[in-house]
Structure 1
């Protein structure tokens, strides 16, 4: 019986004597799925007095591996695996370009010729250690890098990049298991570098103001940057924005597509998270987008073409037929930042939008929805909340209140206020200007003080101060230090302008005021905000109430549950309460 058993074992494997005297156990393990040839498992035992016993144990071990299907079923290399895996995996084109870069730049040079079956956790850990040592995989000897002409200095590959390489290998080994090439995934026991802590570095509000001012010479370019700041949209999403995605009647944009660029070639694709989203625009951004559309239409008409209603919002073509290239946006923004000495990138405008909203008290789920994050806000919290020190406090104003003043490339805002006053302080200043020009206030007369303006028009001292500063900019009053402001003598040209000035606001009242509003539901405050409106106009108040209720989650059917408590800005006295019918 024992002899028959030995015969069966020899039939399933063999022992060869090598020229060196070593013994090699060899067991048939099936057909290699890559080469189509017979696949054998081998193990070599050095020559010695116990060689025969050791080779017998090796032969039995190999046979058990085959019986229990623990053996690799191919001699395919890591390069062969990655070639097949990258050919069948379904990922975004930009992700695929990244994978190909990792494979050709790091995996293939260091692991490409190694058989898949010989990769284990130790091999992968050593591979990651090499990437941390030198991203160029130098041999440690002194040399000069030909692309810089300088002495080579070893620089580690970023931890986040090594982790992405690990995930690429893990996915490839997992697919190899499905194909029957290997029986276990070595990447599951390897240890990649820890995930780096999120460190968004958005520009400060002061830097954002400088960026907008520098971009103001080109209104189209300034509009793109403004929209990136207020919406947090990705670069490719902004480039793919069509005019059909912009609804200026409902103050929203719809993000549905993105532009992918590979060299000089561009194409539209789905968004990064494969989700469509609608982003509400604040009033200032709606004005910016309205002016941008008017400007595009006028430019197209001047050049004898028609702006395509389905054209791109940001395009170098007058008809909007082609999108702006994402790489063009990146390069132009980098040059802008370098000119004004700010170390930042275009992507950090997305961080600016997120951190400003969180600092203003907006919940992470809402912020994540605007940014297009998946995970119901968890990604947003992980990325931004630890960075924003005031994330647990609800600020008194929203993002619109935190945005820097928008520069105007074509019209000086000081001069514009004379003929087209918009803000409450501008309307008050125009009314005082009219009284100076028509002689009601004579040269040398005391000008209204900040306190008098604030009491007369039910506004804050800050707004009254802006009125006086605007009058000073118009050279209508003198505010020398230590004395009360007085009316200045006006030239004939200035006096003549009074006839063409807008009617403005009467000194005794203004149609619209800056109001502090409190949205109340069932006796509880659910939202506080500031807006410019006429406290006696029910249509304006109804619009403010319904918009605020909608943002709180209210529906048309239950707007009657809400009411607005109305105060003038800076005052604690309630002017009135408004409830929707």
Structure 2
């Protein structure tokens, strides 16, 4: 190797260049970035020293080996082909599968779908995540773009406005990262590739949980408004006091409620969910674990009144109220369930009339924060909400309320302690 700085020694693949400091720069061409189309090179600086040339050559050989592994994997499959096979074997819930399929269709396929999996590395994925943070619509970087009100032929009006880039939410990008991570793990097991690029890629950090439940005044408004319809009021009351998910609430049946004195509980076994290709139907709970929720006296009274209303309607129809009748149903005899989407839409219309910025899901937050504020331990709260992980999710989501409850507990403990001896003398 020449001793002058700036001298570059070319090898069959790559080059080694001596820098003014005496260090050696190893550079190996690794192709074009599939997203940006920019030249992609692997570079490493080897410090000056008696073994520098040997170390530089070893680095160059290592780079060449890495590139050859990417270019010549055991399969020429594209990312679309990998994801199709991965999702066909997916064992999660139907809702999660549908969500993943939507992310693949809207974001992964348009940008990376045709790329061979052997060409994907951490740098490409980081560029991909940066593009998602730039614009969720993946618009070309040019002026004069219009967001049209419809994709069909039309005459533009005030609803067709100049395009404004909106970033994809960090949570959604992380979901996409999880999809890719799971797919590449399968590819390694199948022998398609030797290393997953997701191990080195960096998706955006998880946003901090911010539940924002309705405050006491807002909760009172919501309850008052909902009770203009007794069935609707009973449903909203139950959601607030139990913290159940909307699909679980829609699946509650007459037999799900145990009114035995001293053992008043709500037994959650199933949930109403959308099945891809089939529509709405009963399915397992989100965590696939049944659970019982203890009921307070007022909620027991509310549910007894709801059963009584169903019983009265069945008597008017001349039919018997079945134990498996749905407790909150659009049918007089409880024969059909209410769909979760219809509950959400009705709730949204109600809180909009009240001028309250909230959602149905935040009733779960209301239930959780009220319990924690009352001093109930997070593990018990997690059990009522159906959180997995032994309460880790509950702690992470409701940290602020747990801290506040802990401070109040410390004050109560301190107030109940006996007077210290030296303090007794001062008094």
TM class by shorter-chain length?
0.7 to 0.9
Aligned length, in residue pairs: 341
Per the alignment, residue 74 of structure 1 pairs with: 75
1:487 match: none
Q: Is 2:318 the counterpart of 1:304? A: yes
Q: What SS is found at the alignment partner of 1:259?
A: strand
Paired residues of 1:261 and 1:327 also in contact (CA < 8 A):
no
1:416 maps to what in 2?
none
CA distance in 2 between partners of 1:391 and 1:70 (Å): 57
- 1:175 matched to 2:176? The reply is no
**Unaligned residue ranges in structure 2 (runs of 5+):** 1-57, 150-158, 410-415, 417-427
Which has the larger Rg?
A: 1
Kindly indicate whether the alpha-carbon contact (under 8 Å) linking 2:211 and 2:397 is maintained by their aligned counterparts in 1. Answer: yes
Counterparts of 1:261 and 1:326, CA distance in 2: 9
Aligned partner of 2:118 in structure 1 is: 117
3-state SS in 2 of match to 1:390: helix
In structure 1, what is the equivalent of residue 298 of structure 2? 284
- 1:565 is aligned to none
1:131 matched to 2:132: yes
Q: Is the CA contact (8 Å cut-off) linking 1:177 and 1:185 kept in structure 2?
A: yes
1:259 has 2:260 as partner = no
SS at match of 2:127: helix
Contact 2:121 2:197 in 1 (8 A): yes
Give the Å deviation of 1:183. Answer: 0.5
Q: How does 1:38-77 map to 2 (within 5 A)?
A: 71-77=72-78
**What secondary structure is seen at the aligned counterpart in 1 of 2:293?**
strand
Q: Secondary structure at the match of 2:404?
A: coil
**Partner residue, 2:249:** 238
- Alpha-carbon distance, 1:387 to partner: 4.6
* C-alpha contact 2:321 2:333 (8 A) present in aligned 1: yes
What is the CA–CA distance in structure 1 between the aligned matches of 2:173 and 2:136, rounded to whole Å?
A: 10
Consecutive unaligned residues in structure 1, runs of 5 or more: 1-56, 396-523, 525-581
2:330–2:337 CA contact under 8 A, matched in 1: yes
CA 1:66–1:187: 2 relative to 1, 3 Å: closer
Pairwise CA RMSD: 2.6
Q: Which has the higher contact order (CA 8 A, sep 6+)?
A: 2
2:348 corresponds to which of 299, 319, 334: 334
Normalised by the length of structure 1, the TM-score is 0.56
- CA 1:374–1:167 in 2, change beyond 3 Å: closer, same or farther? same
The match for 1:216 among 217, 227, 230 is 227
1:188-227 matches, within 5 Å, as 188-227=199-238
Alignment of 1:15-34 (within 5 A): none
Does residue 196 of structure 2 align to residue 185 of structure 1?
Answer: yes
Counterpart pick for 1:228 among 239, 255, 258: 239
Aligned residue for 1:144?
A: 146
Q: How does the TM-score come out when normalised to structure 2?
A: 0.75
Q: Distance in 2 between matches of 1:195 and 1:203?
A: 24
CA apart distance, 1:317: 1.0
Q: 1:232: how far off?
A: 0.5
Deviations 1:304-363 (A, max 9, x none): 332221111111111211111000101000000101000111000000000010011110
Equivalent residues in 2 for 1:560-571 (5 A)? Answer: none
Distance in 2 (CA, whole Å) between partners of 1:126 and 1:69 is 18
1:348 to 362, 367, 380: 362
SS at match of 2:405: coil
For residues 19-47 of structure 1, what are the alpha-carbon distances to aligned partners after superposition, in whole Å with 9 as ceiling and x for unaligned? xxxxxxxxxxxxxxxxxxxxxxxxxxxxx
Please give the secondary structure, in 2, of the residue aligned with 1:82: helix
